[in-house]
Amino acid sequence: MNVYDSGTILSDLSILGYKLTDNVKKADLVIINTCTIREKAEQKAFSFLGRMADLKNKKPGLMIAIGGCLAQQEAKNILKRVPFVDIVFGTNVLGRLPALIRQAEKTGETAIDVDMSGKSRSALTIHAKKTPITDYVTIMRGCDNYCTYCVVPYVRGRETSRLPEDVVNEIKIRVKKGMKEVTLLGQNVNSYGKKEGLSSFSELLAMANDIEGLQRIRFTTSHPKDLSLNLIHAFRDLEKLCNHIHLPIQSGSNKILKKMNRKYTREAYLEKIGSLRSVKPDIAITTDMIVGFPGEAESEFAETLDLMKTIEFDGLFAFAYSDRQLAPASSFNDKLEEGVKKERLLKLLDLQKEYTRRKNKAFINKIVTVLVEGPSKKNNSDKPNAISQDLQWTGRTPENKIVNFTLDRTDLSCNDHLLGKLINVRIEKALSNSLKGTPVTDIKGEITYAA
C-alpha cells in the first residue's frame, strides 16, 4: 500500500516540476513514506531521518518531508526529535501534499497536515507515461477490525471503499500505459463495499476480469472471517484471477486468536482452507503469523506449529510480537521475554522452509506460465560489455512463485519484446525462494507463448 501511495505522490509531484532522482545528494526534496506496523519499521524511519541531518546542514535549501503511518501517529514527536523536517503529512492527505510543498517553499516554515476527518482521494489521476508490468491499485483504505496488536485503524482511519467504477477506470488507464497484472489492495479486501452497499469484492473481481488487455489479477490482504463462498468460487470461475491467496491466520490457538480479536477460530480457518482446496486443489496459500503474543503459552505455540503441519503453507511472513503504542495489546501484562519470542520464531521459520522447499521441488520438470517482468536483479549490471553472457530474466507463475530464466544476451531487442508476455517455462531447478527454468521453444527455436 505504501508503494502505491508513493506512486501517487510521484505522479502528483511531476505537475510541480519535480523529477525523480536515485541520488539523494542531488535531491531538492526528500520524501520519506513511513510504516509503523512493527517497531523495526519505525526505527528504520528515524534512522534514515537522522542521516538526513548532515545532508540538510550541507544543503540548507533541501526540503525534507515525512508521511505515512509514522507521521500520522508521531507528528509532534517527529518535530521534537528531528526539528529540521519541513513537511509532515498523514495518511489521508495525499491529495493535499502538493499544496503543502508549495506552502513550505513559499514560507520556509514547517507545514503539518495529519487531519483524518476529510475524505481520502477517491480516484487517481495518472500522469506517468508508463506504468510497470505489475502494479497496484488501492480499492479501499482503513480498517474496522481493531485487532489488538494492530495500529492500522488508528493511523489509517476507519474502513472506506472506493466506487467500483473508479477502481475499474484506474485499472483501464494503467493497462493502456503498460500494466499487465494488477494487485488490488486493502487492509481487508474481503469486506470491500459492504459498508457503502457497493458491489461485493467478488463482483469487483469479475469486473476487472472483463478488462481487455489485463492478463492477471491478484489481491491482498484477505481477512479469514470475511472470506465468502462467492470469493472462493471466483478462483474457479475467473480465468485472470491468479491461483494464489494470502490468508493471514496469525496464530493456531483459539485462545490467542480471541485475545487478538481476530473474530474467527482455528476450526473456521481450516474449514475455509478446505473449501479453497476443494475448488482449486493446487491453489497456493500463504499466510502471516505472530509468535510470542502476550500470554502465549508453550502449548499454544505448539498449536500454531500443528496448524502449520496440517495446512503446509506455500509461504509465510512471520514476526515476533512487538508493542505498538496505540494498540490495545501494548497494555497487556503477560509479555514474553525476547529470547523466547526469537526461539519460537526460528522454529516456525525452519518448519516453513521444509514446506516451501517441498512445494518448489514439485514444480521440477513441469511447464509453467510466467509473466515476464524484466531482467533479474542478479544480472551483472555493472558489466554492460559482457554481451557474451546470457541475460537472466524474471517473472512469476500464477501461484506467485518467482521464476528466473536465461535468454540470449546478444539479442536484447527480441528479449525486450517479451516484457509483459505470458511465456511457457520448463522448471529445472528449485531453490529456497525461487525456481529456475528454460523457456519452451518450438521446432523453429522460438519461445512459445501461453494460451
* Domain harbouring 390, CATH code: 2.40.50
Of 316, 338, 361, the residue that ends a domain is 361
- Give the list of residues 6+ apart from residue 47 with CB closer than 8 angstroms, or none: none
Q: Do residues 340 and 398 both lie within one domain?
A: no
Cell of 354: 521444509
**Taking a C-beta distance cutoff of 8 angstroms, is the pair 213, 258 a contact?**
no
Amino acid present at 124? L
| Phi and psi, residue 402, nearest 5° | -75, 130
Q: Grid coordinates in use for 297?
A: 503459552
In this structure, the answer to whether residues 171 and 305 fall within a common structural domain is: yes
Tens-digit pLDDT profile for residues 158-216 = 999 999 999 999 999 999 999 999 999 999 999 999 999 999 999 999 999 999 999 99
List the beta bridge partners of residue 109: none
Co-location of 207 and 350 in the same domain: yes
**391 and 321 assigned to the same domain:** no
CB atoms within 10 A of CB 186: 25
> For position 338, what pLDDT does the model report?
96
Examine residue 122 and state whether it is found in any structural domain, yes or no: no
- Same domain? 182 vs 319: yes
**H helix intervals, 88-242:** 97-107, 152-155, 164-176, 201-209, 229-237
pTM of the model: 0.89
The rounded distance, in Å, linking the Cα atoms of 143 and 187 is 6
Of 361, 395, 412, which closes a domain? 361
Give the three cell numbers for residue 11: 505522479
Q: 409 is written with which cell numbers?
A: 544476451
Residues 250, 290: contact at Cβ < 8 Å? yes
357 and 372 co-located in one domain: no
CATH code at position 313: 3.80.30.20
Query: Both 346 and 209 in a single domain?
Result: yes
408 occurs within a structural domain: yes
Helix, coil or strand: residue 390: coil
The CA–CA distances, whole Å, from 135 to 120, 217, 219, 285 equal 20, 10, 11, 21
Q: How far apart are CA 30 and CA 111, in angstroms?
A: 14
Residues of the chain below pLDDT 70: 118-129, 379-390, 408-415
CATH classification at residue 67: 3.40.50.12160
User: What residues contact 7, with CB distance under 8 A and at least 6 apart?
Assistant: 128, 135, 136
**323 occurs within a structural domain:** yes
Domain boundary among 326, 361, 396: 361
Domain count, the chain: 3
Residues 355 and 373 in one domain: no
128 part of a folded domain: no
The whole-number pLDDT of residue 331 equals: 96
Quote the Cα angle for 148-322-66, to 5°: 95
Contacts of 416 (CB under 8 A, 6+ apart): none
Q: Which backbone phi and psi does 328 adopt, to 5 degrees? A: -55, -35
Structure confidence at residue 123 (pLDDT):
46
Q: Tell me which residue of 284, 292, 342 sits closest to 315, measured CA to CA.
A: 284
Q: 9 and 25: one domain?
A: yes
Residue 163 lies in a domain: yes
| One domain for residues 422 and 330 | no
In a domain, 71, yes or no: yes
What is the per-residue pLDDT across 4-36, written as a single tens digit (0 to 9) for each? 888 889 888 888 899 999 999 999 999 999 988
Residue 411: inside a domain: yes
Q: How confident is the model at residue 415, as a pLDDT?
A: 63
Say yes or no: 286 and 200 in one domain: yes
- Give yes or no: residues 66 and 145 share one domain: no
Is residue 221 one of the residues assigned to a domain?
yes
Q: Which of 115, 59, 112, 47 lies closest to 85 in space, CA to CA?
A: 112
Residue 284 is part of which domain span?
134-361
Per-residue cell: 399: 501461484
